[in-house]
């Protein structure tokens, strides 16, 4: 895979590939529909576009209340109603390590149904641009680091989340297939671990940072130890949701290739979970004992991602620091505790 500002105009078989589409191809208005619009990234995109939407853009943020994307007829009805010109596809069945291990069938089937319905409806309705969201957790388990976009299919994913991973990998496969066969401008973004306001703060089913924030809140409230599952040694790159929102909108407007692009902080910003836990404790002003429960599984030790492609386009982009992002996330959780997902 090579870095290209423009998508190729034809495939090796002579079929049209993804054309270079702009947000406003014909000088007319754009309707940008965001699936999963009530979630962590969707709400971040809403916050960003509320301030920085282009004059000709109308943004629509869907939630599960708007229809079941696993159902083809309901998905078609959503497209008929909203008539999007652009789609940012965030909706998915997601969960943490333990949820993925327990429900591999559901994670595969439901995500495959959702993605197929969205992609085919985008083709039928001549959507100018589709941006779907992947994850670094779908990369091969046995691989060299740092990982980059070219390595996505080089081996099986970690067994703990293979149902989710294979469903998500098919998005990348089908982006290229739709480009080659139908000339669709479909692409995918690959963020590292996301956190921020509007996250799912469930201790059992949430991701690392929101789960730690909720745990720390309860430990402070109940005057108990702040216990972290695992040794705290695994390394991760974390991206603040508002940073990801800004970059996702940039991809929709400016990045036109079926090849995916990794949206991540730099490799130097990778941190052990232990440091994250201590940053959460500091932000929460927790002064009790921090304990690491080594009886619990750690999951993958590292999955360092290379953001060289992104830096080629956005060399000067400044990411929010982990400390500042965690403080903002803790503040939001405390202010919205009653209504936050948990």
Catalytic residues: 164
Q: Which uninterrupted H or E stretch holds 34?
A: strand 30-35
Rounded CA separation 333/198 (Å): 8
Helix (H, G, I), strand (E, B) or coil at 13: coil
- Give the pairing type, strands 238-240 and 129-133: unpaired
Structure tokens at 6: 């423009």
Buried b or exposed e, range 171-202, using 16+ CB within 10 angstroms: bbebbbbbbbebbbbbbbbbbbbbbbbbbbbb
The torsion angles phi and psi of 242, rounded to 5 degrees, stand at -70, -30
Rounded CA separation 14/46 (Å): 39
Strands, DSSP E only, in 46-143? 57-61, 86-89, 129-133
Taking a C-beta distance cutoff of 8 angstroms, is the pair 69, 75 a contact?
yes
Rounded CA separation 335/338 (Å): 8
C-alpha closest to that of 32 among 20, 21, 19, 40: 21
């Amino acid at each position: 895979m090579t870095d290209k500002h423009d998508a190729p105009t034809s495939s090796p078989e002579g079929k049209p590939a993804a054309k270079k589409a702009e947000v406003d191809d014909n000088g007319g208005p754009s309707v940008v529909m965001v699936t999963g619009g009530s979630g962590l990234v969707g709400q971040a995109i809403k916050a960003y576009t509320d301030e920085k939407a282009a004059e000709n853009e109308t943004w629509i943020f869907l939630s599960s209340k708007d229809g079941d994307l696993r159902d083809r007829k309901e998905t078609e009805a959503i497209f008929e109603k909203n008539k999007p010109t652009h789609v940012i596809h965030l909706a998915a069945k997601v969960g943490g390590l333990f949820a993925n291990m327990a429900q591999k069938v559901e994670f595969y089937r439901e995500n495959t149904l959702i993605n197929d319905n969205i992609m085919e409806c985008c083709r039928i309705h001549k959507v100018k641009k589709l941006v779907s969201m992947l994850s670094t957790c779908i990369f091969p388990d046995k691989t060299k680091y740092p990982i980059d976009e070219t390595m996505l299919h080089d081996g099986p994913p970690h067994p703990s989340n293979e149902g989710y991973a294979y469903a998500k990998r098919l998005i990348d496969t089908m982006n290229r297939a739709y480009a080659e066969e139908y000339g669709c401008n479909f692409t995918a973004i690959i963020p590292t671990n996301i956190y921020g306001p509007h996250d799912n703060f469930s201790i059992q089913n949430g991701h690392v940072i929101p789960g730690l924030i909720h745990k720390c809140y309860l430990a402070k409230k109940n005057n108990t130890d702040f216990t972290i599952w695992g040794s705290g040694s695994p390394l991760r790159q974390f991206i603040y949701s508002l940073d990801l929102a800004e970059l996702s909108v940039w991809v929709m407007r400016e990045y036109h290739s079926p090849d995916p692009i990794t949206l991540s902080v730099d490799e130097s910003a990778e941190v052990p979970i232990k440091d994250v836990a201590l940053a959460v404790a500091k932000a929460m002003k927790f002064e009790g004992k921090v304990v690491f429960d080594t009886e619990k599984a750690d999951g993958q030790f590292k999955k360092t991602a290379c953001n060289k492609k992104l830096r080629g386009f956005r060399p000067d982009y400044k990411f929010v620091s982990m400390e500042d992002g965690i403080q903002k996330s803790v503040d939001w959780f405390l202010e919205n505790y009653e209504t936050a997902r948990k």
